[in-house]
Structure 1
Amino acid sequence: MKQYDVVIVGAGMAGSTLALALHRLCHGKLSIAVIEAHPVNSEQHPGFDARAIALSYGTANILKTLGLWDKFSAITTAITDIQVSDRGHLGFTDIDAKSQGVDALGYVVELADVGRLYQAELNNTELNNTELNHAAIDYFCPAQVKRIERSVEQVVIELNDGNHLQAKLLVAADGALSQSCKLLDIELNEVDFEQHAVIVNVSTQLPPNGKAFERFTSSGPLAFLPMSDQRSSVVWCLPPQQAEQILALDEQAFTQALQQQFGWRLGAITKVGVRASYPLLLRYRESVISHRFAVVGNAAQTLHPIAGQGFNLGIRDVMSLAESITQAFEQGQDIGAYTVLSQYRQSREQDRNQTMSLTSSLVNIFSNDWLSLRVGRNLALMAMGNLSCIKQPIVKRTMGLVER
């Protein structure tokens, strides 16, 4: 039986970041195992598919702290301006990096590129800008958790390939439908927003030049995120039946429908890539800890993409857990003890609740065409454009500048 300090299930962005964070913060003195069901280059890998995501300014700062940002900066596109509008109405506000005193409000990165980066980091012999090596991280892939047994002082994980791992702490970072959480009966709550996200990368006549757009329509929000080569990543939220109809359109009809909803801010849409769709739900677990067990990232909560908060909230989970474990390790404590995990839970409670509440409220306010809400949201957007006391708290959370 192989002995470890920490076993992490899931090598997506949350799990990989946690492994590298613990390795760096504890100076390579923790033994770590990472278990991943799918190879990073597999189309089945749910964490590194064809989507692009927005990393907040705060997430970039966390990755800088961990010595990872130099690698990320080569595959990101900066967001220097965010324009928020309500289609067909006067509501409009603009958030720009210069007014916030930063070079970028956030960064767009393609998940496939992130997958290759983390694969290289986990398999590499040298951590960027340090003398640490990755010898303390064992990577089991492809492998799945078959059974989990916990005792007072340890947790034993049986894999489907016959391997048995023993650890002081097991961490679930294996996505919204976490298998490890299922095996331990960690309850999952779901709220169906009755929307599907249609995702596609498009090329436009005008380059986005760092501009992101959040456009609210009567059927749901529509976001354009800037990418390289005059491309944008599109997330179009629609009722399920309408999403199905949109997906069935030929390329020309799809382009016309998207152009009509988005407008001409980037000129004509000249090319559309492969389209995909997935249902939008709020999934969350009331408790992110159990005996010698912690939950991070999408396994802890999966949010609606309306404000681009999900991945960034997950990275804050990761950093808070890494700091709690590091503090316990430096003080000679049991890193899997319930007191250590309770510190992590308490540190995440306010941020989790506020971010989930904000995201769900935005969906309810901006995903329908009721007259009262339409008037209210347009007044709110206009107020944001003119009153910094209203605008700044929302901007700070959008940038990921929140207390952990």
Structure 2
Amino acid sequence: MDAAPSEHDFDVVIAGGAMAGATLALAIERLTNAGLKVAVVEAVIPDNRHPGYDARSIALSYGSCRLLADIGIWSGLSPFATPISSIHVSDRGHFGLTEMHASNEGVEYLGSVVELADAGRVFHQALSKAKNITLYCPAFVTDIERSINQVTLTLNDGQTLTTKLMVAADGAVSSCCDMVGIERFEHDFQQVALIANVTTDMAHQGRAFERFTQTGPVALLPMSEGRSSLVWCVKPHEAPAMLAMSDDQFADALQRAFGWRLGRLLHIGERASYPLILRQATRLISHRFVVVGNAAQTLHPIAGQGFNLGLRDVVTLAEELANAFHEEQDIGAMPMLQAYLTRREPDRDATVAMTSGLVHGFSNTTAPLILGRNVGLAAMSVCSELKAPLLKRAMGLVER
């Protein structure tokens, strides 16, 4: 990685250096053989306090792990990853359940769980070793001006950068999108996610669990050191009292909701919460401007699709940029952006629809819907043809 140059002229500038932005920069470097000058503008130095790399873990699908391998990142991440050997899906108090096993699918794992703090360090190190990526950190964009052939960005310290293409990867409430007038559609799921790391009496053995309850889904994902990563979706009015519970009280409540498939819950780590809101940028491309990652869409965590969808976005964008570069085309012009959009819209629409459908279908407590979803889960447990579409999307094996 070069020090900040006196010549602030780039081919691509990426606002946001967490996982989506960092992956995009590294994918561009790999696919163009460092042929494009890339700048990454990141507001926070990645460490354990980074908002994108906090105590949370992220579930990377099998397909995402393969994509990260293709751009040379997975070898650095894999020592910190816990493989998911099976996924168990059930509906509390009802008969429906289904299971997915890596061994049945002929793969070594269905996905992997990585702590965001570990991921932050790996990505930051990879950026620092890159040949043609300049990192501005800590820094953020304060102004964006677009002309026919370039974008001029002003940073908070007064520096200006010019680029052929600006990429907004600056999170769910993207200030860069605000600056160019791209609005957000928001839908409040009326749920709050409680997150914590949990130690259980029985070893998780790489098993992931998703259990649907009256308040929302409870997910436990396998982590390192025998821990599991908890995401528990509850009604907003319930969250304050649950955060205020003692560890023992919280463990008892979780035991009642989750059951005993991992034995007794022995220890609950530090708890945190965040409201669950679907956010979608109303446009993904604009003149010399493209939106990726959480800035493009922030999903409910019900099926662990958010970052995996964002990763498919950024690798596809890198491929289209590389195509334009190798064909000596203008990498920021509308033909490249339109080619990217055409490839990504079907997957984005299908993933958002599936995620939102699961939330509403499993949050509804009317008898016909309860019966219907349990019949569906039971049918999937015995009929691989019914399970296949859900499994493919869970594994990230979808068209790009």
Matched, 1:329 2:335: no
Matched, 1:307 2:303: yes
1:1-400 aligned at under 5 Å gives the runs: 2-41=8-47, 43=49, 45-124=50-129, 134-400=130-396
* 2: CA distance, partners of 1:245 / 1:379: 34
Residues 51 and 111, structure 1, Cα contact 8 Å, conserved in 2: yes
* 2: CA distance, partners of 1:230 / 1:243: 27
* 1: CA distance, partners of 2:330 / 2:48: 37
* 2: CA distance, partners of 1:187 / 1:345: 17
Counterpart of 1:127? none
Superposition deviation, residue 46 in structure 1? 2.3
Residues 220 and 368, structure 1, Cα contact 8 Å, conserved in 2: no
The secondary structure found in structure 1 opposite 2:225 is coil
Two-structure CA RMSD over aligned residues (Å): 0.8
Percent of residue pairs identical = 54
Superposition deviation, residue 291 in structure 1? 0.3
Residues 48 and 117, structure 2, Cα contact 8 Å, conserved in 1: no
* 2: CA distance, partners of 1:395 / 1:144: 39
The secondary structure found in structure 2 opposite 1:240 is coil
Cα distance per residue 1:134-154 (max 9 Å; x no partner): 231110011110100000000
Superposition deviation, residue 42 in structure 1? 5.8
Cα distance per residue 1:42-99 (max 9 Å; x no partner): 62x3211110110000101101111111111101000010000011111011100011
Residues 49 and 111, structure 1, Cα contact 8 Å, conserved in 2: yes
Cα distance per residue 1:223-253 (max 9 Å; x no partner): 0000111100000001101122211111110
Residues 14 and 166, structure 2, Cα contact 8 Å, conserved in 1: yes
The secondary structure found in structure 2 opposite 1:244 is helix
Runs of 4 or more off by more than 3 Å in structure 1? none
Superposition deviation, residue 388 in structure 1? 1.3
* 1: CA distance, partners of 2:319 / 2:59: 24
Residue identity matched to 1:10: G
Residues 148 and 158, structure 1, Cα contact 8 Å, conserved in 2: yes
Superposition deviation, residue 29 in structure 1? 1.2
Superposition deviation, residue 286 in structure 1? 2.4
Residues 48 and 55, structure 2, Cα contact 8 Å, conserved in 1: no
Cα distance per residue 1:156-203 (max 9 Å; x no partner): 000011110000000000111011111111111000000000000010
- Which runs of no fewer than 5 residues in structure 2 stay unpaired? 1-6
Superposition deviation, residue 312 in structure 1? 0.1
* 2: CA distance, partners of 1:245 / 1:367: 21
TM-score, normalised with respect to structure 2: 0.97
* 2: CA distance, partners of 1:31 / 1:113: 27
- Which runs of no fewer than 5 residues in structure 1 stay unpaired? 125-133
Superposition deviation, residue 370 in structure 1? 1.7
Superposition deviation, residue 206 in structure 1? 0.8
The secondary structure found in structure 1 opposite 2:43 is coil
Counterpart of 2:399? 403
* 1: CA distance, partners of 2:331 / 2:110: 35
Residues 219 and 368, structure 1, Cα contact 8 Å, conserved in 2: no
Superposition deviation, residue 323 in structure 1? 0.5
* 2: CA distance, partners of 1:121 / 1:246: 39
Q: How many residues align?
A: 394
Residues 210 and 226, structure 1, Cα contact 8 Å, conserved in 2: yes
Residues 13 and 163, structure 2, Cα contact 8 Å, conserved in 1: yes
Cα distance per residue 1:11-34 (max 9 Å; x no partner): 010000000000011001111100
